[in-house]
Structure 1
Amino acid sequence: MMYKEAKEMNEQLLAWRRQIHHHPELGCRLPQTTALVEKALDDMGISWEKIGPCAIVGVIGKKEGKKILLRADMDALPMGEETGLPFASECDGVMHSCGHDCHTSMLLTAAALLKKHEEELQGQVILMFQPDEEGTDGTGARMMVENGLLDKYKPDVAVMAHMASDIVKTNQIMLKSGPCSASSDRFVVHLHGKGGHGARPHQSINPITCAIKIAEAFGDIGRYEVDVQEPTALSICTFHSGTASNIIPEDCEFTGTLRTFNDEARQFTLDRMQQVAQSIADAYRCQLTFDRPRGIPPLINDPEFSQQLHTWLQETIGQEGVDIPPMSYAKSMGSEDFSFISSRVPSCSFSVGSTSHQEQVYPLHHPKIIFDEDGLAAGAAAYAQAAYSYLTK
């Protein structure tokens, strides 16, 4: 039912998607995108409110009962577009290369379908239009939770979709169970030594030497101290120090990211990094500042809810022509701030196939990525069917 109805809305779905793609916006600065969402919800007769500066929450359903949250992110990335599409970004240095334009337009389409069937729903659908998933201004999901999203609306379960341009085929919906996306913790290591002439190192305290030793030791933590069955990625990504080849600098700073799927391994590794860094800094007579801003927890798909959702989709849109493959247990070391929802509410994220017909298929966050629009109706139908099945079974 839902796939057929989503295809009937395909013209409007693509119009929304192309308008958002043509006018990409960053972080929490989304005036054009939120205006489009607000107008669309108004036109459908769906009540909504803003949470924080630009997050939007809509509600469908007149009856008390269970509640399901459907989430779409709205922000773009700070990068130039090289697709050559007629509706390519008009904003220099800003592009929808992660598919958030698709997510928003699919959720709007699903909202229209669910509004049409509102009288049949034995509960409510919470529509979550989220800013800043990419972390340009912080993290949008965390902001919405801290501003009372879950406390006010109290969803029983939650669902999100994400485009898959190079893994899942067009017209496929892939569900996962268990650990899905890794945690993400940024760290900053700053070392202060004593500057001097490169010809007289004994009169100085070289922070670069100390920083190199710490970076090497960080790698050993991941290799030798964390359970080998717990995937862990610890990467040094920036390294800054010095101004000239004959001057020993006073300061050195490097930054990086830690990714895990297990909160215990995550906390252990971060604590050991700080301990090891302090020990080495003391040994090399440097002053250490170790900063680890609050990061993003791992995204875990609730096994029971994910399996139930998989069955529902197979029995419904799977019979209409959407390919619903067997459950996947693959993990991604990428992060997803929907985890601020999934850590508190049984949740499921699913992948929407959109493999391009291009000769060269590009991954997410690539300036030449093109999502196959033929897959968007399946994504919209999956959103709608998830809510419909949950609220009518």
Structure 2
Amino acid sequence: MSADAIVLGAGIIGVSTAVHLARRGKSVVLIDRRGPGEETSYGNAGLIQREGVVPYGFPQQFGLILRYALNNRIDAHYHLGALPSVANFLSKYWWNSNTSRHQLIARAYAPLIEHSVSEHNDLIQAAGAEHLIRKDGWTEVFRTNQKRDNELREAERLRSEYGVTFKALTPSDIAASEPHLSNDFVGGLTWVDPWSVLDPHALTLSYVKLFESLGGRFVKGDATSLAKTATGWKVSTVDGPVEAKDVVVALGPWSDTVTKPLGYRFLVGVKRGYHMHYGIKDNKTLNGWTMDAERGYFLAPMNQGIRLTTGAEFALRDAPKTPVQLDRAEAVARSIFPMGERLDKEPWMGARPCTPDMMPVLGKAPRHGGLWFAFGHAHHGLTLGPVTGRLLAESICGEKPFIDMTAYRPDRFRI
């Protein structure tokens, strides 16, 4: 097979890139070792986070870091044996998270987030996937006045600086919108702009169908077989070798399996996460996406059931599952909402690819023609899939990207 472009990785980033290339008349082959959307893109809170202009930083307060060190929380957990391997990433992540640098990073990151909903809407309409989308935002609920007041002040700042919108909630507001939630909460806020996805995997598959309707082809293959040819690149697949002038590496936390053999050494850490689906007791309802802010877990009413998601686990990417955060979260969640039985055979686990400056790696490889990178989206892979895909396709096709990509360029690292 020959094509104009190969996209390695059929998560939401790779699929969106393939769609935008196919829209521009390119012949595209999308390659993954598994089915589309079956890795990290499968399990998440299902949010297109228009409010997420400030990427998740590393805690700066010494007391909070000490509390995390106890390793008994829901929002973060670590493998002690993995710390030597991830120490370099964590130290640079901590350094970039200081107030002044974090604010600069947020300003560079915000243009991606600001176009997240509009770019998804473009593909949702084209794919006929409106039935998978809700447009009523998501809610944080607070157990203490201090947390509520701090978060509302931050929300006001984001509204002033970035134009995000929110609504403050009293306990009676929470009771009116979520009558089956406990009365443990002193207030909350609803982020109005984000959209939520009833089945993230189904949304990815709908984009794959759009891609195929444009003439694109998905095939299973081995990304690690990527090799340079006289005219471009070649990859082995179950249907034989595929050759193309351009190749996009969109392999998320596995991108290093391709970039390292080519001589690129990106410092990309992994934040693993877990989810489980639950039934509901006594015909109760959870009406919207809800985060227990102090405890650090999400409850999301998805098509498969109530999805409970955890925070970040710092571990080696391929280490066995240790879903202790999920067990901790489930115990707390059952105290605030009448969750029923577990619906999945075992907890799902995924791995989020994270750079120490909290911004993705997007753009042309500095030392190879026709090689492009699109990974490192951390907590916002679903959110940023279509905007990333459009930027990469514009760059590959020689168009002027609709957002300045300088801050995300691969050569900002010493590679």
TM (norm. structure 1) is 0.30
Which is higher, the Rg of structure 1 or of structure 2? 1
